[in-house]
């Protein structure tokens, strides 16, 4: 019986002579395939003409998209009618300067001990009127330094008339006025709510919070001194 002929294994020098570009293992070298070259791949063919052929598959019954005139937010989850409510309650503080007339009277009583016949020069009511005027001068100054608040025409006139005036202020009243506008809450904010300047006129006299004391205006008359009320007291002497 004939035995199959064993495949010859060429050496590296023989392979180098027959196929210099071979990089495989010597036992897998086939001299019959060594001299053959693989055919280069045919590059893809480009278009035969410069003009493109018309599309073959056209969609039928193509309708253009309708124009939408409404807001884009109307279809979103955050629409224009959505309002956010804070979870934590917001603390609001209203200003109160009701102690100022009382401080003015106490200051007057202390001055009367050292100054004899002070009532001939200055009365308690005039001291309260003077302290009230100083208070509004201070409030307008604090409001002017606030970036989010604009002064009214009356406030601008008062600030212009008093900005270069040096006032003689008793120490207790000066200490009280220095604290106005120096409030700091838990979040570190120092904003203070400045009440509107009392400019309402009643029976020819101005300086009132409103034309009458009612349920809506009584807090302003009780908590914020006005030159209208202080002037009425002076004129009643």
Tens digits of per-residue pLDDT, 144-187? 887 677 899 999 999 999 989 999 999 999 999 998 876 666 66
What H or E segment, with its residue span, contains residue 218?
Answer: helix 218-223
Q: Residue 116's pLDDT band (boundaries 50, 70, 90)?
A: confident
Half-sphere exposure (Cβ direction) of 223: Cα atoms closer than 13 Å:
12
Contacts 24+ apart (CB under 8 A), 139-143: 139/180, 139/194, 139/195, 140/197, 142/180, 142/181, 142/192, 142/194, 143/194
Q: Which residues, including other chains, have CB under 8 Å from residue 108's CB and lie 6 or more apart? A: 118, 122, 124, 127
Contact 139, 182 (CB under 8 A): no
Distance CA 27, CA 7 (A): 9
- Give the pLDDT confidence score for residue 197 in this predicted structure: 93
- Give the pLDDT confidence score for residue 32 in this predicted structure: 72
Contact 112, 123 (CB under 8 A): no
Instruction: Evaluate if residue 217 carries a pLDDT over 70.
Output: yes
- Give the pLDDT confidence score for residue 47 in this predicted structure: 66
- Give the pLDDT confidence score for residue 16 in this predicted structure: 78
Distance CA 128, CA 22 (A): 114
Helix, strand and coil percent figures for the chain, each rounded to 5: 40, 5, 60
Residue 105: exposure state from Cβ atoms within 10 A (0-12, 13-18, ≥19): middle
Average pLDDT, the chain: 80
Handedness of CA 99, 102, 104, 110 (dihedral sign): negative
Instruction: Evaluate if residue 2 carries a pLDDT over 60.
Output: no
| pTM metric for this prediction | 0.59
What H or E segment, with its residue span, contains residue 208?
Answer: strand 205-208
- Give the pLDDT confidence score for residue 139 in this predicted structure: 92
- Give the pLDDT confidence score for residue 130 in this predicted structure: 96
Distance CA 205, CA 198 (A): 12
**Closest-CA residue to 167 (of 194, 137, 197):** 137
Residue 128: exposure state from Cβ atoms within 10 A (0-12, 13-18, ≥19): buried
Instruction: Evaluate if residue 99 carries a pLDDT over 80.
Output: yes
Top pLDDT among 214 and 57 is at: 214
Half-sphere exposure (Cβ direction) of 143: Cα atoms closer than 13 Å:
20
Question: What is the percentage of the chain residues whose pLDDT exceeds 90?
Answer: 41
- Give the pLDDT confidence score for residue 198 in this predicted structure: 94
């Amino acid at each position: 019986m004939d035995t199959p002929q064993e495949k010859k294994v060429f050496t590296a020098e023989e392979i180098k002579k027959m196929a210099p570009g071979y990089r495989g293992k010597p036992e897998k070298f086939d001299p019959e395939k060594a001299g053959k070259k693989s055919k280069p791949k045919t590059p893809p063919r480009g278009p035969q003409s410069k003009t493109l052929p018309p599309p073959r598959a056209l969609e039928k019954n193509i309708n253009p998209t309708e124009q939408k005139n409404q807001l884009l937010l109307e279809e979103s989850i955050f629409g224009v009618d959505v309002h956010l409510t804070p979870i934590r309650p917001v603390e609001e503080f209203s200003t109160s300067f009701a102690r100022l007339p009382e401080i003015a009277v106490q200051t007057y009583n202390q001055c009367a001990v050292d100054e004899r016949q002070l009532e001939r020069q200055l009365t308690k009511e005039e001291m309260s009127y003077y302290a009230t005027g100083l208070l509004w001068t201070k409030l307008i100054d604090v409001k002017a330094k606030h970036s989010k608040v604009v002064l009214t025409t009356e406030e601008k006139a008062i600030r212009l008339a008093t900005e270069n005036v040096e006032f003689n202020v008793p120490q207790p009243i000066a200490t009280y006025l220095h604290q106005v506008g120096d409030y700091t809450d838990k979040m570190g904010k120092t904003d203070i709510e400045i009440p509107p300047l009392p400019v309402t006129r009643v029976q020819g006299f101005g300086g009132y919070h409103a034309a009458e004391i009612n349920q809506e205006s009584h807090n302003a008359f009780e908590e914020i001194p006005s030159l209208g009320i202080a002037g009425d007291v002076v004129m009643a002497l």
